[in-house]
């Protein structure tokens, strides 16, 4: 039996599958403009918006418009898109004034690592000292 945790889109029990479609994915709906967000960058293949629960003065999420659940779903053909995510993150850090002091880029993979939305996304964090190790 498939169990879905609607707030996160992940299975409630290990080993159970959950299929999130572009129509039901929170980030796909933000990218499509169906759900409001504080968008800081909108391009053909990439959207970036401020996190609703920021962990630093600068906390922006950079996502592909196309639904990709997480890193394991990436294919070799996605290399240019992944590169674009990083370039957009770099540009946002520069535009937000944190490039020189430093910033952190984070990709969480799966619920145990803190991925709360099953759509590939890159966190851009900055504007304060960031502890190490994280978590």
Which residues does the annotation mark as catalytic?
Answer: 121
Q: What is the DSSP letter of 132?
A: S
**What is the distance between the alpha carbons of residues 107 and 1, in angstroms, rounded to a whole number?**
29
**What is the distance between the alpha carbons of residues 64 and 75, in angstroms, rounded to a whole number?**
14
Q: How many CA atoms lie within 13 A of 42 on its CB side?
A: 8
The count of other CB atoms within 10 Å of the CB of residue 89 is 21
Placement of tokens 């659940």 in the chain? 69
**What is the distance between the alpha carbons of residues 114 and 135, in angstroms, rounded to a whole number?**
9
């Amino acid at each position: 039996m498939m169990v879905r945790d609607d707030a996160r889109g992940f299975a409630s029990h290990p080993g159970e599958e959950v299929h999130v479609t572009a129509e039901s994915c929170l980030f796909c709906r933000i990218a499509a403009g169906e759900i409001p967000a504080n968008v800081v960058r909108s391009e053909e293949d990439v959207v970036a918006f401020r996190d609703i629960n920021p962990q630093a003065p600068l906390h922006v999420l950079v996502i592909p418009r196309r639904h990709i659940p997480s890193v394991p779903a990436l294919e070799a053909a996605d290399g240019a898109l992944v590169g674009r995510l990083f370039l957009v993150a770099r540009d946002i850090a520069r535009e937000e004034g944190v490039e020189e002091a430093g910033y952190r880029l984070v990709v969480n993979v799966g619920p145990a690592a803190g991925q709360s939305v099953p759509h590939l996304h890159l966190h851009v964090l900055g504007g304060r000292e960031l502890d190490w190790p994280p978590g």
